[in-house]
Structure 1
Amino acid sequence: MTLSLEWIDEREGGAGSKVEQWMDQLEKLLHIAGRKEEVTDGIVTLTLTDDAGIQELNRQYRGLDKPTDVLSFSLVEGEDPDIHFNDEYEASEDGEEGEENWKDEVKSENPFADLLGDIVISVPRAEAQAAEYGHSLERELGFLFVHGFLHLLGHDHGDEEQERSMFAKQEEVLKEAGLMR
C-alpha cells in the first residue's frame, strides 16, 4: 500500500482537462505532506464541489448553514472513531460463491482500514479566495487540500498556538512544491 489520492468532481460541467493538472499537483502535495507527517500508507478521497454542495455538508455535519472553503472527514482521527460496520462487509469463512474472502486480517474486520478520510473543497470559494489573496487558483487549491489533509491526521487550529503550528506545516509543504504566494 502507498499513499494515494482518489477524487471526484461533482460540479456540473467539471473543470475539464484542468482538473487532471490539479490532481497531479495535489497528489504531489499529498506525498510531500505525508512524508513530513510520517504517513506512508492510506487513501485520501477528494471531492470538488460548488458552494451549494459544501453548504449542504456544512449544515448537515457542522450545523452551519453557509458555504465554506474546505471540509475534512477523518476516518483515523481520535482513538475511537464513530464508524460501525455491519455484517455485509465480513468475510465468508466457507468461501461461498459471490462472497469475497479477505486475505488481509485487518481488512476482514474493517474493509475501509486503508481510508484516511475525505476532503471536500468548494472550487468557487477557492477561486474567490485566490483572487482576494492575489495568488493562483492552483496555490489556493493546494493550500486548502494540505489544510484538509492535516485535519484528517488530527491537526487543528482551535487556538493561536495550534493555528501557528498548522499553518507553518502547510506553508512548508506548499513551499517545497513551489506554490508560493
Structure 2
Amino acid sequence: MIFELEEMCEIPFEFDYSELAQKVIKGCLEYINFPFEAEVNLTLTNNEEIHKINLEHREIDRPTDVLSFPMLDYEKPGDFSFLEEGNFDAYDYDTDAVILGDIVISYEKVLEQANEYGHSIQREFAFLICHSMLHLFGYDHMEDEERKEMERQQRIIMEKLNILR
C-alpha cells in the first residue's frame, strides 16, 4: 500500500494519526480483498478549508467531516474485475499501484463529532477513513438500501480492526 499524508494546517491530535490512518486503510483493503497494490492520499485540514473544497466540488456551502474523491468508476461497488483488463486511467506505472483516490478530513469535525457521539477522537477519525474508503471502492449512501449496505460494511470493518465505540 502506498499512503500519502498531507497536513494543510496544524493537527492537534494527541495520537499517531498517520499510523492509525494506515491501519484503517490496510484493514479496508484486506476486508474488500483488493487484488492490487493500492495508493490512497489523505489530506487533513480544518473546517474553513474543507468548506471551500465542499463548495467547489459539490456546490454545498458548508464544512463537512470528510470528502472522498474516487479515481475509479465502478459498475458494481467492490467489484474490481474491470481492473484486470487494464482499461483504467488510475494506474501509477512508477509504483505499479492502482490509485484509489483522495480522502479529505476536517480535524475540527473529527473533534466535534467525537464529542457529539460520545466516543474517542481516534474512533471518529478511523470511522471517517473507513467510510471514505468504501466510497473509494464504489459504495454510496444516496439510496436507503445502499446506505444500509455501507453501514453494515463499516460496522464489520471497524469490528475487525477492534475500533469500537
The two structures have a TM-score, normalised by structure 2, of 0.82
Partners of 2:90 and 2:99 within 8 A in 1: no
Q: Summarize the Cα distance change of 1:31–1:56 in structure 2 as closer, same or farther, 3 Å threshold.
A: same
Matching residue of 2:29: 34
Matching residue of 1:173: 157
Matching residue of 2:119: 135
Mapping of residues 69-148 of structure 1, within 5 Å: 69-78=65-74, 112=92, 114-148=98-132
Matched, 1:159 2:143: yes
Question: What is the distance in 2 between the residues matched to 1:123 and 1:62?
Answer: 20
Q: Which amino acid aligns with 2:3?
A: L
Matching residue of 2:17: 22
Partners of 1:77 and 1:152 within 8 A in 2: no
Question: What is the distance in 1 between the residues matched to 2:32 and 2:90?
Answer: 24
Matching residue of 2:41: 45
Q: Which amino acid aligns with 1:65?
A: D
Q: Which amino acid aligns with 2:40?
A: V
What's the Cα RMSD here?
1.9
TM-superposition CA deviations, 1:69-124 (whole Å, max 9, x none):
00001111347xxxxxxxxxxxxxxxxxxxxxxxxxx7xx8764631100000010
1:42 offset after TM fit, Å? 1.1
Determine helix, strand or coil for the equivalent of 2:135. helix
Question: What is the distance in 1 between the residues matched to 2:120 and 2:11?
Answer: 19
Determine helix, strand or coil for the equivalent of 2:126. helix
Matching residue of 1:66: 62
Matching residue of 1:101: none
Moved over 6 A (4+): none
Q: List gaps (5 residues or longer) in structure 2.
A: 76-85
Q: Summarize the Cα distance change of 1:139–1:118 in structure 2 as closer, same or farther, 3 Å threshold.
A: same
Matched residue count: 148
Determine helix, strand or coil for the equivalent of 1:7. strand
Matching residue of 2:6: 8
Question: What is the distance in 1 between the residues matched to 2:151 and 2:121?
Answer: 18
TM-superposition CA deviations, 1:112-164 (whole Å, max 9, x none):
46311000000101110000000001000011001111101110011111111
Q: List gaps (5 residues or longer) in structure 1.
A: 80-105
Partners of 2:11 and 2:107 within 8 A in 1: no
